[in-house]
């Protein structure tokens, strides 16, 4: 976070503006700032001001969280974005998230296949009919 007498031009969005644009609570905007996912500049009155990219970064963070990334992993993904990201920069981030989602999906499918195979889970007798148990749900 950079403290300055006046927030640079372009840093006009308040915490509430960013929250409204992204569908998160204002506390979430501050959380993302605290963890380095967005950058705020301060006004002379010590109020946070964000640029338009903050909303996009938070939207990307929300998708990444749904994929299963931690805040630290999301910060790592966003770290190399330039100050004024262009469409190709966002496309690169999208490729990373797609790759991560595919990897995690493959792992989940493997776990599901293992469960369905009747593999022993917590020393449960391997003869348990997993499909019949699932049908009870």
Quote the mean pLDDT of the chain: 85
pLDDT band at 2 (very low <50, low <70, confident <90, very high): very low
Distance CA 47, CA 10 (A): 15
What lies within 8 Å, CB to CB, of 49 at 6+ separation is 7, 11, 12, 13, 14, 40, 41, 42, 43
Here the contacts of 88-92 (C-beta below 8 Å, separation 24 or greater) are 90/56, 90/60
Name the residue ranges covered by the structural domains of the chain.
2-136
What would the mean pLDDT of 109-135 be, rounded to a whole number?
Answer: 68
Pick the CATH number of 2-136 from 2.40.70.10, 1.20.5.50, 1.10.1660.10, 1.10.357.10: 1.10.1660.10
pLDDT tens digits, one per residue of 42-95: 988 999 999 989 999 999 999 999 999 999 999 999 998 998 899 999 999 999
Q: Which of 48 and 129 is assigned the larger pLDDT? A: 48
**Pairing mode, if any, of strands 2-3 and 41-42?**
parallel
Q: What is the pTM of this model?
A: 0.74
């Amino acid at each position: 976070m950079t403290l300055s007498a006046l927030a640079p031009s372009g840093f006009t969005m308040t915490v509430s503006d960013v929250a409204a644009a992204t569908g998160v609570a204002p506390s979430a905007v501050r959380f993302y700032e605290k963890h380095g996912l967005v950058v705020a500049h301060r006004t002379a009155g010590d109020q946070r001001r964000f640029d338009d990219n903050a909303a996009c970064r938070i939207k990307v963070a929300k998708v990444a969280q749904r994929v299963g990334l931690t805040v630290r992993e999301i910060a790592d993904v966003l770290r190399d974005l330039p100050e004024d990201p262009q469409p190709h920069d966002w496309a690169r981030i999208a490729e990373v998230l797609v790759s991560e989602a595919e990897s995690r999906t493959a792992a989940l499918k493997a776990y599901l296949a293992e469960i369905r195979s009747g593999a022993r889970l917590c020393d449960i007798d391997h003869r348990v009919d997993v499909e019949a148990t699932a049908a009870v749900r």
